[in-house]
Amino acid sequence: MRARVAFPTLGMLAVLTTASMGTFTVAVVAPEVGPAIGVDPTYIGVYSSIVFVLAMFSGAGSGAFITRYGAIRVCQVSMLFAAVSMAVMALASPVAAILSAALLGMAHGPFNPASAQILVKVASPRWRPLIFSIKQTGVPLGGALAGALIPLLVIAVGWRGAVLAVSAIGLVVLMLLQPLRRIFDSDRKHGQPLSRISIAAPLRVVFAQPALRGLALVAFAYAGCQSSVGAFYVLYLVQDASMPLVQAGLAFAFLQTGGVFGRISWGAVAGRFVSSRKLLALLGITTAVLVAGTAALTSDWSFGVISILGFILGASSFGWNGVFLAEIATRAPEGKISEATGGVQFVMFGGVVVMPPMFGALVSATQSYTAAFFIVAAAALLAGVYLATGFTHALQAARKDPS
């Protein structure tokens, strides 16, 4: 990979890995943090929802900031929010947890629109699925690092020390991005008025295009399923499979490592050996089957079997994002890539806002994870079937009305 592609791709990978590590760190330490601040650990679903409510709006409204200050500067500010979020979490109170979630949401929202604007400049349409997928491996890579390292840090320095370590990483990444700014923020428009910030404009771009509209609905289901699995996997293993936190964290690392493998693998084959639409449909259906299978897990299962199942589940449920975002960039109207990405992301994060709290509520109401896993599996299945069948009508409509 040439330097002009490699450096921005690695920079965007570092940002997403760090932000993702923050989110998953909270999920991993939930069994420790819950009692410390006086709430049930299943409230991790509420934390996740707060993160992505803020991410929905900060992402959809980020276009004016990207135009005025540049995409790299916006990524740097995202890292600052992520770092402060982890530091606030260490204050260990319900109010601090809410504020931490809000700050982390402000970090997550602008990243995809900003990174899309950067990477589309250096990645040709042929290589775009792979480049976007490499960048998107930051989500499972951050999760794998959180699963493998955070439990050990909890033992060594306590959960507060663990979240502060992640905060420090965010500040380091912020500084490392600075050399890229001269190149990729050179086209920023200093006079862009921030009064042009609009949540509705990106949504109008999406809902005016049948193909983008259909993809947004699929993203709602896929992201909701992914975030539910990511938020509750460690807690599920600790509570239902009676795993120690360190072992559950390692299993979580296998889940996320599968996501890294999946994102790179699917990015390499999408558009070259199989259409992105067919691949995304297959991933949704596979995820549904594996999530339903995870509901059958018991303490009698060996750690090896659980790890293998988790790896495959990670490859499917965490592996779709890069191919999906490349598809959005490809189908976006000319000059509207960041707007289209922000609009679809708004709907996508809606799934993250709705489904994890629903998952947690079902667990609390039924005292079992089975119904919760089956419902998110059904959502992924319906979305995958739609991509395999009904999405064709959206593409036909787009050809008839290219506006």
Q: How far is CA 258 from the centre of its chain?
A: 15
Q: Is the Cβ–Cβ distance between 251 and 303 less than 8 Å?
A: yes
d(CA 250, CA 256): 10
d(CA 106, CA 52): 9
Percent of the chain with pLDDT over 90: 34
Q: What is the SS3 assignment for 250-270?
A: HHHHHHHHHHHHHHHHHHHHE
CA dihedral (299, 303, 306, 310) positive or negative: positive
Mean of pLDDT values over 320-329: 85
Determine which of 165-174, 194-203, 237-246 has the lowest per-residue pLDDT on average.
Answer: 194-203
d(CA 225, CA 230): 9
For the chain, the structural domain boundaries read 3-178+198-400
What is the four-CA torsion angle of 180, 87, 141, 70, rounded to 10 degrees?
-20
158: helix, coil or strand? helix
d(CA 55, CA 104): 8
d(CA 333, CA 210): 12
Question: Is pLDDT above 90 for 282?
Answer: yes
Using CA atoms, how far residue 355 sits from 93, 139, 216, 220, 318, in Å, is: 25, 18, 16, 9, 16
Mean of pLDDT values over 355-372: 89
Q: Is the Cβ–Cβ distance between 384 and 317 less than 8 Å?
A: no
pLDDT digits (tens, 9 = 90+) for 32-86: 888 888 887 777 778 878 888 898 888 777 777 887 888 899 999 999 999 999 9
What string of DSSP letters covers 49-102? Answer: HHHHHHHHHHHHT-HHHHHHH-HHHHHHHHHHHHHHHHHHHTT-SHHHHHHHHH
- pLDDT confidence bin for 193, thresholds 50/70/90: low
Q: Is the Cβ–Cβ distance between 244 and 155 less than 8 Å?
A: no
Q: Which has the closest alpha carbon to 42: 394, 392, 398, 368? A: 368
Q: Which has the closest alpha carbon to 217: 233, 199, 231, 203? A: 203
Q: Which CATH class is domain 3-178+198-400?
A: mainly alpha
335: left (phi over 0), alpha (psi -120 to 50) or beta: left
State the pLDDT at residue 194.
62
Using CA atoms, how far residue 124 sits from 38, 127, 330, in Å, is: 51, 5, 10
- 162 versus 40: the higher-pLDDT residue is 162
Mean of pLDDT values over 315-329: 87
The first and second tokens of residue 347, run together, are 């709907």
Report the b/e string of 244-262 with b at 16+ CB within 10 A.
ebebbbbbbbbbbbbbbbb
